[in-house]
Amino acid sequence: MMIIYEKDDSYILIAQHDHARISGDLAAAWRDELFSGAARRDELTYAAYEHDSSWIELDRMPLWNDQSGCPYSFRDYPGNIRFVFYERALDSLQRTSEYAALLGSILYSTLAEKTRNEDTVSFVEREFARQSAIIESLAIDVSLLQMHAKALLLCDELSLFACMERPGTARAQYEWFADGFSYWFGRSGQSVLLADWVNGNTIETAPYPFRGEVETTLAFKQVSKADIAKLGISKAYQKEKLREHRLLFREAR
């Protein structure tokens, strides 16, 4: 369920776990004062780094979508498969950190409800049951949980902003983020965060919820269309070396 965008003669493919690494780097840099303290910060960061770990094995071999004539991406990957692996990831995460699994469950069920259909209903119901059980067993501060869940969603979306279009793409050209990101933090009353590329490596946001500048790395493979036609998507992907693109998040100037 990779993140994919198309160039003239190739596709850029980004594994979900590599996208999650950017989310984790952002979560690790979140300003404590926006949460009214540092409680459970390590678990929030862990949730951000690991929430897409179930896709590591699947993303080793991308699949071709015959209907669209391009590789399957996170936008069109079959839902019945997607939710099986979501649950598998959360089950694994819960064995190491119930709170991280709770945050991941809230993230996944929030995303699933945006595209409600026959595949999502049963998944969301099961995840609501998981969430209720963990909240009860850990005696969680629900207000802090809500802030952590919203921070995780924002970090996930900012990472998608960095991954789903070519670096440097104008915000207005983004299908999902042209109007910015929902923002619930701080005392300014501001409800929208705006993110913009200022060059091919740097993203500025306003407001800026992180401590200092955040340096991170986007790992990807660039797979030529000619190789795909000759070898098939899986072999063409496997023959390419993993590349890295350095990213910097900073406060808007």
Ranges in the chain, pLDDT < 70: 79, 116, 187-188
- The range of the structural domain enclosing residue 210 comes to 3-251
What's the pLDDT at 79? Answer: 67
User: What is d(CA 109, CA 46) in angstroms, rounded to the nearest whole number?
Assistant: 18
Answer whether 193's CB lies under 8 Å from 44's CB: no
What's the pLDDT at 59? Answer: 80
- Supply the DSSP string of 53-93, one letter for each residue: GGGTTGGGS--EETTTTEE--TTTS-HHHHHHHHHHHHHHH
Count structural domains, the chain.
Answer: 1
What's the pLDDT at 176? Answer: 92
User: What is d(CA 147, CA 199) in angstroms, rounded to the nearest whole number?
Assistant: 31
What's the pLDDT at 100? Answer: 96
